[in-house]
Amino acid sequence: MKRSADAKAGSVVVELYTSEGCSSCPPADDVLGELAKTEAARDGSLVLLAFHLDYWDKLGWPDRFAKAAFTSRQRASAALLEGGRTYTPNMVVGGVESFVGSERQRAERTISAAKSAGASKEKFGAAEELRALSFRVDRAGKAGELSLDVLTPGAGGGEFLNVAVVESGLESKVTAGENAGATLKHERVVRVFESRSGAGHARVRLTLPKDLVQANARLVVYREDAKSRRVLAVATMALPTAGGGTAGGKGTTK
């Protein structure tokens, strides 16, 4: 079975660093949820990822979606964009613009700037020639495993290749910590993430969480510059179901 990724030229990657243990984070989660609702109106050109961080777990509520690797990723981003300062909620657009994630109007302005060829052209790298990113997915392996062959023409050692599985429609009833008593709703939560140095061809194998609702999940593949963290290309598609054979697709962005 063959399917095409529904990424489009000019797609914008939006990363939200958040935590269920942080009382300031639910408004940012709501912003991401609102962006997800308008995604269709944007012709599928908005790619959203919510990374849950583990450093709030010490307050008594262990975020079940948090991973130390996500905290490390935020620290690497903050070293470039925030002078090393980490905080939640933190939204990063295109890998190069960082701000408080609950600022809805700023998020909209920054996303619009990233999509345009106007004043933000240099920051978001619009001057760079578009390069293709394509991949092939194989679900013929073990149950709960996903294998990808990713082709990134022109990619070199100065890039990272990131592969994520994001899940929507998630909900948690928080019983401790700063959000005790709240029921939190989440969209585009990163459940699996792999990152490696860029190469012309990569084979990536993912192990999916046992509680993943695959009908609510999407696969996101994106490349970023290793020095600036600027997103260079992205492709996304619905997660192939078990026993679904192979699926492939490609997409480009600035």
CA 192 to chain CA mean position, Å: 10
- Could you tell me the pLDDT band of residue 199, with boundaries at 50, 70 and 90? low
Would you call 108 helix, strand, or coil by DSSP? helix
pLDDT the model gives residue 187:
97
pLDDT the model gives residue 49:
98
With the CA atoms of 208, 209, 212 and 218 taken in that order, what torsion angle do they form, in degrees rounded to the nearest 10? -40
pLDDT the model gives residue 43:
64
pLDDT in tens, 31-76: 999 999 987 666 667 899 999 999 999 999 999 999 999 999 999 9
Would you call 79 helix, strand, or coil by DSSP? helix
Q: How far apart are CA 148 and CA 126, in angstroms?
A: 28
User: Which residues contact residue 183 at a Cβ distance below 8 angstroms, ignoring those fewer than 6 apart?
Assistant: 171, 172, 173, 174
Higher-confidence position of 103 and 197: 103
pLDDT the model gives residue 179:
98
Span 18-37, mean pLDDT?
97
Closest CA to 13 of 207, 252, 249, 240: 252
pLDDT the model gives residue 153:
63
**88-97, 141-150, 213-222, range with greatest mean pLDDT:** 88-97
Domain positions in the chain are: 12-251
pLDDT the model gives residue 248:
54
Share of the chain above pLDDT 70, in %: 75
pLDDT the model gives residue 133:
65
- Could you tell me the pLDDT band of residue 254, with boundaries at 50, 70 and 90? very low
- What CATH number is given for 12-251 in this structure? 3.40.30.10
pLDDT the model gives residue 130:
37
pLDDT the model gives residue 2:
35
Lowest pLDDT segment from 76-85, 98-107, 200-209: 200-209
Name the average pLDDT for the chain: 83
Residue 204 pLDDT more than 50?
yes
pLDDT in tens, 170-180: 999 999 999 99
Strand 12-18 with 46-52, pairing: parallel
Higher-confidence position of 231 and 73: 73
- Could you tell me the pLDDT band of residue 116, with boundaries at 50, 70 and 90? confident
